Amino acid sequence: MGKKKLERFAEVAGFPHVFEFGFQQIKDGLKLKGKWGSDFFKNDNPIVVELGCGKGEYTVGLAQKYSGLNFIGVDIKGNRIWRGAKTALENKMNNVAFLRTRIDFIESCFTMNEVSEIWITFPDPQPQLSRERKRLTSPKFLDRYKNILKPGGVIHLKTDNQPLWEYTLDVIKENKYQLLVSTNDLYSTVSAEFTEAASIQTFYENLFSKQGFKICYLSFKFLTNT
């Protein structure tokens, strides 16, 4: 591991708004589970979670736009989280937190109805059929999100991978979830309902766009949660 990565790991470990959850904590769950609002944010504002947040561009960008909402970026790689966490700290943003953990453990970190909205931004598409269950929009993961999302809560997917976008549309249709909006070319779609998704670009999104990849986006709700 490079010196810079080690320095970032050490720095992020001392940030007051970054939390880590691993295998050793599975039995008891995260101490903040069910208490993010009361114990960390010190308010009862809605909580928005970005899964696979990477450098945290959406977490920080949305938090800057919406001071009345709380945002939590989730990723397993502390080196990536460091950038967003440092930006939030430097700008004294009190509505931002980061959680370093596997998304498989999400139910151990949030309680039922604790999350109001979920963003999944440029996840690994896991293209091999044998790895379908690892896709963050697979039925396996969606069942986990159901257990933490408030009734009527929205899930957003933003990806450069059209097969993943198409796969997710199929999952939504097969499970009779409520598709809200969808496009396979976000920046060529002129409509107010896509403004939010187009307003922030992640590091990888800029990279993919420059390489000629179209950006796909969709949002949906669980009908069982309405």
180, two tokens = 């809200």
Is 170 one of the annotated active-site residues of the chain?
A: no
Q: Which strands, in side-by-side order, build the sheet including 96-100?
A: 18-20, 96-100, 70-75, 47-51, 115-121, 149-159, 216-221, 178-183
**Which residue has 């998704």 as its token pair?**
197
Catalytic residue among 39, 44, 75, 124: 124
State the Cα–Cα distance between residues 51 and 59, nearest whole angstrom: 10
Q: Which residues are registered as beta bridge partners of 159?
A: 216
* Cβ neighbours for 18, distance < 8 A, ≥ 6 positions apart: 12, 81, 85, 97, 98, 99, 100
Sign of dihedral through CA atoms 70, 85, 109, 225? positive
Residues serving a catalytic function are 124
